[in-house]
Structure 1
Amino acid sequence: MPTLNDLVEKVKAEIDVSKVGMIVCHNGIVRGTSREGLPAEYLDIDVDTAKWESILREMRTEEGIAAVEAYLFTGRRQVGDDVMFVVVAGDIRENVFPVLEKAVNRLKKEAVLKKEKLA
């Protein structure tokens, strides 16, 4: 399993660093409560791989973006466990931050399959 730093190093190795002004990262973890505030025990996570790859390919074509990489931890994840890493490299923050947010939102909504076990 990669670490967030592994993904950052992978991105750095793939880009022309002279054209990149920033790398931003997302490290999603399992919360101890649901969005409604109810206690949660764990998440069971799976992925639609085709959709996942399609979203990443699309995000890589956004203006100013040099690289987008992501990793999803599947299976049962306990409170505090890492769930998803996303790394976006690009020219300027006005291009990079929105792509990070868009990538995280789309991956979670369209490609990640999860079932939360409430306490």
Structure 2
Amino acid sequence: MNNLLKLVLLICGSWLFAFNVDWRFSYLLPFILILFVPHKKLLVDLTLGFISIFLVWLTAALIIDGGNNSILSTRLAKIFGLANGPTLVVFSGILGGFIGGLGAVTGHFLHNSLQKTNDND
């Protein structure tokens, strides 16, 4: 499967998944997709998982932040000692990216371990 198609599926699916399931399960879609359709290189799967969930979380954080005129993010940034509110928005995107990347890496390794187990039989 083409990597661009995987990226589009991950972004669209994660965006739809976010409305029906809790945010804590955002690793699940990269995990499932990479488990069934992995790339040969781990770094490609990690990048796909990171970028897709990063973009979804960044977009969601920007929508939420724009909905309240950045009041909440500015106050939270002061509490955490950050320079300004948009920094907090970017950090939330990076956190989501790490979660998506770890889900993709887990799917990649699980696929490889299942393949090796089936090869030994």
Scaled to the shorter chain, the TM-score interval is 0.3 to 0.5
Structure showing the higher strand proportion among its residues:
1
**What TM-score does the superposition give when structure 1 sets the normalisation length?**
0.34
Greater radius of gyration (CA): 2
Structure showing the higher helix proportion among its residues:
2
**What TM-score does the superposition give when structure 2 sets the normalisation length?**
0.34
